[in-house]
Amino acid sequence: MISHTHTHEIAEIEVGASVMGVGLASMRMDGGRGGLPGTRQRPGQWGVRPRERPMCSMDRFLSNAVNRIDAKGRVSVPAHFRAVVQKRGFAELYGLRALDMPAMDVGGQDLLDRYESRIAREDPFLQAADDMSFFCHGDGAFLKLDQDGRITMTDFIRDHTGITEEVAFVGRGLFFQMWEPAQLARYQAEVRVRLLKLRQAPARSQEAPE
């Protein structure tokens, strides 16, 4: 004969097993992310719609590197940057002398499209539209990658950046920049100082007496 206490314990075990079964089922249905080891689900299996593919990090220019200019005035674009160029299907690169720093902004046709889209919103008879066009067209140039992934360092680039023997490449997400290494080191230090002040500002405002 089973006592009332034992009956209650059995009921709790059965309920727990039921909850665990639901949990395991949901794990199996969770796109394979939380499933059991060794189990993989096909998109749409269990009646679950496949999730959208997340943005791949290889679609963005990340990190930084320094490469030396060869005797013919060419520099190799870092391999991980070239992979992004290839993945995004850039036939050639658009380079622009950065407005407020001694660097070249380099990207695909989409970078130029962004500037031209902004110009198109301006009145073409006003000075602002003319200045914007002067900047993104007059201070820009198409840069070609050779078959070995190298860019020729023209005077157009060198005069603005101060680059002589080495080039520092810096990922900026949808585009990358080319710097003279010492100039980049100074700018990196300035950026960190500015960001540190921003981080500390909320803390100081919270500590201030009311």
- Domains, the chain, in order of start with CATH, read 4-47 (no CATH), 57-190 (3.40.1550.20)
Regarding pTM above 0.85, the answer is: no
How far is Cα 64 from Cα 210, in angstroms, rounded to an integer?
A: 45
On the question of pLDDT at 25 being above 70, the answer is no
| pLDDT at res. 206 | 64
- Rounded (5°) CA angle 133-98-180: 150
For residue range 103-130, what is the model confidence (pLDDT) as tens digits? 999 999 999 999 999 999 999 999 999 9
On the question of pLDDT at 29 being above 90, the answer is no
Q: Which of 85, 60, 84, 69 is nearest to 157 (CA)?
A: 69
Q: Taking a C-beta distance cutoff of 8 angstroms, is the pair 77, 149 a contact?
A: yes
How much of the chain, in percent, has pLDDT values that exceed 90? 64
On the question of pLDDT at 99 being above 90, the answer is yes
How much of the chain, in percent, has pLDDT values that exceed 70? 69
For residue range 61-80, what is the model confidence (pLDDT) as tens digits? 999 999 999 999 999 999 99
On the question of pLDDT at 58 being above 80, the answer is no
